[in-house]
Amino acid sequence: MSTEETNHSSNEDMQNALFIIKIGGNIIDNPAALEAFLADFSKINAAKILVHGGGKIATKIGTQLGIESKYIDGRRITDDATIDLVTMVYGGLANKKIVAQLQALGTNAIGLTGADANIIPAKKRPVKTIDYGWVGDVETSGIKHQTLNFFLGNGITPVFAPLTHDTSGHILNTNADTIASSLAVALSGSFKVRLIYCFEKKGVLEDVNNDASVIRKLDRNYYQQLKEEKKLFEGILPKIDNAFAAIDAGVSQVLIGDARDLIKNTTNDNEGTLIY
Ligand SMILES: Nc1ncnc2c1ncn2[C@@H]1O[C@H](COP(=O)(O)OP(=O)(O)O)[C@@H](O)[C@H]1O
Ligand SMILES: CC(=O)N[C@@H](CCC(=O)OP(=O)(O)O)C(=O)O
């Protein structure tokens, strides 16, 4: 076991709060919504990490470049042209715009992919029935939490693009919800981690078209029931799966809520869906 892995459980920071916030592609694609979200994110007066998606922008720019987007089970099939596309869009355009906006708001952000400082190593998803191409599954035990502790301890806020690497020179496209939950798990030995998934709906909804139907608390049994009733579909399913994975692995609290409710959702007065 590496020093990185052995040191963290005895860390004196055990009781410290760390917010890991994930922001999805629908918000990033809306400049006014993103600006409002980043202003609220800047106000969080605790250690924090931002993970952003950007699937919607990648699809839009891909169309302009003649690169068609294909998804299976919410994961983008990532061929050679697509990995170049998403490296440019996630690691460049989206990440650097967010970092620049945070700097303007007084948050000293550093934009990162999983390849930077080798923070998030991953494995290319093995080809079984489906070949996802350059898609990575995070190696959570290899996450360099000491490097992240260093940034956080020096008042620097990491901002992650949804890209990892295979440690053999290849960038891998990795779902942003999964990166957020993996970071939350890896840092839960050193911090009291609160993971908040922010998107454009009020939370997990009983009826997807009714924002007043927020489910305030969701456990596995209720989740199973909602799936059987076909009340959940598309992106919300992997998001909830990632949320349960984080809770199972010791993350203190996981919430799914509206990006506009970020400040409320960082208090006990939350408005979204609490996963338990
Ligand atoms: N019951 C539900 N409650 C909330 N969202 C739902 C529900 N069922 C399906 N969804 C869909 O899941 C989407 C969220 O997943 P996704 O698009 O992956 O989020 P993100 O914007 O974070 O990437 C919502 O935009 C919505 O269309
Ligand atoms: C492998 C895979 O599917 N990666 C995602 C990464 C972006 C993402 O997760 O963006 P959102 O949070 O905006 O959906 C993709 O390329 O769409």
- 3-state secondary structure at position 242: helix
Tokens of 240: 């909830």
Angle at which helices 176-187 and 145-153 cross, to 10°: 80
Report the pLDDT value the prediction gives residue 241, as an integer from 0 to 100. 96
Q: Residue 194: is it exposed, middle or buried by C-beta count within 10 angstroms (0-12/13-18/19+)? A: buried
Structure tokens at 23: 């922001």
Q: What is the pLDDT of residues 25-83, one digit of tens each?
A: 899 999 999 999 999 999 999 999 999 999 999 999 999 999 999 998 778 999 999 99
* CATH domain 16-275 topology: Carbamate kinase (3.40.1160)
Q: Whose CA is nearest to atom 15 of ligand 2?
A: 55
The DSSP line for 53-65 is --HHHHHHHHHHH
CA-proximal residue: ligand 2, atom 3 (nearest)? 75
173 annotated to bind ligand: yes
Q: Which ligand is nearest to the CA of 241?
A: 1
Assembly ipTM: 0.98
pLDDT in tens, 132-181: 999 999 999 999 999 999 999 999 999 999 999 999 999 999 999 999 99
pTM: 0.94
Q: How remote is the CA of residue 232 from the centroid of ligand 1, in Å?
A: 8
